């Protein structure tokens, strides 16, 4: 009983410390039953290149944000339910070592640890927490995930019309396929429900056509369902969620000069800290 109370008190203090590090703009993280499993810094690949981010693993969510004031203050808090995560192990690349892919319905991105051992610890603990949630019936796995964007430097030409990119012919990304495309090939917008239920997102002409055909097929299915009294909403249509500040910033960057994907070294690595070896509260 004493061990349980001590653990609960220490865990609550740790979670409140994480909350406070994001300041008044951060969302509350403390709730009954939530346990802080581990924390550390990872490099997250973005259009500006690998950027250091702080990550906090809880037994039900993954939280990350940008690092300011030498890690004592964080901003742009992102909270991802573990049921929305799919992991994929990756080989080392020229730009990123000890990397893996984190897929979510609204955004998929690459992260890298400072060592192979740290990478394995992160992946194992993420999978263990997710497996426990699924086993207990607390959540169910997702089936739709956002594609990862192809890096700017992966193609010097539009991947749809083959026109060369120039100072005036800027690079853009289709949110449906992730291809690097020109402005002429990505003038259209469409709703991609697992990314955002209502927001019109930039898509290439080919994906716009396929989404339109898909929507028309669903309309026919709905009409048939309505005639039998079985009309209902898809899971993704009920699901809410907002575009994050980080995602809005990356979208706005498409109107400026394309960024370079380069190797960046962190000033100092903060190793992954595994807070509770048992991965659960004392029985």
State the CATH number of the domain containing residue 180: 3.30.40.10
| Number of independent structural domains in the chain | 2
pLDDT at site 219: 62
Mean pLDDT computed over 131-146 = 73
Predicted confidence band of residue 32 (pLDDT cuts 50, 70, 90): very high
Q: How confident is the model at residue 226 (pLDDT cuts 50, 70, 90)?
A: low
Residue-level pLDDT at 68? 84
| Sign of the alpha-carbon torsion through 84, 89, 95, 96 | positive
CATH of the domain at 69: 2.30.29.30
| One domain, residues 53 and 162 | no
Statement to judge: residues 197 and 233 lie in one domain: yes
**Burial of residue 143 (number of CB atoms within 10 Å: 0-12, 13-18, 19+):** exposed
Same domain, 134 and 174: no
Segment of 152-156, 171-175, 228-232 carrying the highest mean pLDDT: 171-175
The tens digit of pLDDT for each residue in 110-127 reads: 999 999 999 999 999 999
- Do 52 and 74 meet the contact criterion of CB atoms below 8 Å apart? no
Both 26 and 127 in one domain: the answer is yes
Do 117 and 156 reside in the same domain of the chain?
no
Judge if 100 and 136 occupy the same domain. Answer: yes
12 and 123, same domain (yes or no): yes
Same domain as 179, residue 138: no
Q: Which of 196, 83, 187, 77 is nearest to 129 (CA)?
A: 83
**Which residues span the domain enclosing 21?**
2-144+263-274
The position carrying tokens 């993954």 is 62
Q: Which pLDDT band, with edges at 50, 70 and 90, does 265 fall under?
A: very low
Q: Is residue 280 part of a domain?
A: no
The whole-angstrom separation of Cα 103 and Cα 15 is 25
Residue 283 lies in a domain: no
Residues 130 and 174 in one domain: no
How many residues make up the chain in this entry?
283
Confidence of residue 248 (pLDDT cuts 50, 70, 90): low
Find, among 73, 46, 43, the residue nearest to 55 by Cα.
43
282 within a domain of the structure (yes/no)? no
The verdict on 115 and 42 lying in the same domain is yes
- Does residue 209 form part of some domain? yes
Q: Are residues 137 and 183 in the same domain?
A: no
């Amino acid at each position: 009983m004493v061990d349980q109370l001590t653990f609960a008190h220490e865990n609550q203090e740790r979670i409140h410390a994480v909350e406070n590090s994001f300041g008044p703009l951060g969302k509350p993280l403390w709730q009954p039953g939530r346990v802080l499993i581990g924390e550390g810094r990872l490099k997250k690949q973005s259009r500006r290149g690998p950027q250091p981010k702080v990550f906090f693993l809880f037994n039900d969510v993954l939280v990350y944000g940008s690092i300011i004031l030498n890690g004592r203050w964080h901003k742009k808090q992102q909270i991802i339910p573990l049921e929305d995560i799919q992991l994929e192990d990756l080989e080392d690349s020229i730009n990123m070592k000890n990397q893996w892919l984190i897929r979510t319905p609204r955004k998929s991105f690459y992260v890298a640890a400072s060592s192979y051992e740290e990478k394995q610890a992160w992946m194992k603990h993420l999978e263990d927490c997710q497996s426990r949630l699924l086993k207990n019936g607390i959540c169910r796995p997702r089936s739709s995930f956002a594609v990862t964007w192809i890096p700017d430097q992966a193609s010097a030409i539009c991947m749809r019309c083959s026109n060369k990119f120039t100072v005036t012919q800027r690079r853009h990304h289709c949110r449906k396929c992730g291809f690097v495309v020109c402005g002429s090939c990505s003038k259209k917008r469409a709703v991609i429900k697992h990314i955002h239920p209502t927001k019109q997102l930039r898509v290439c002409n080919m994906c716009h056509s396929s989404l339109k055909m898909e929507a028309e097929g669903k309309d026919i299915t709905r009409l048939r369902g309505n005639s039998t009294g079985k009309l209902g909403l898809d899971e993704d249509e009920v699901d809410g969620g907002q575009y994050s500040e980080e995602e809005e910033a990356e979208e706005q960057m498409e109107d400026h000069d394309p960024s370079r994907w380069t190797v960046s070294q962190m000033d100092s690595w903060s190793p992954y800290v595994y807070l509770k070896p048992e991965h659960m509260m004392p029985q």
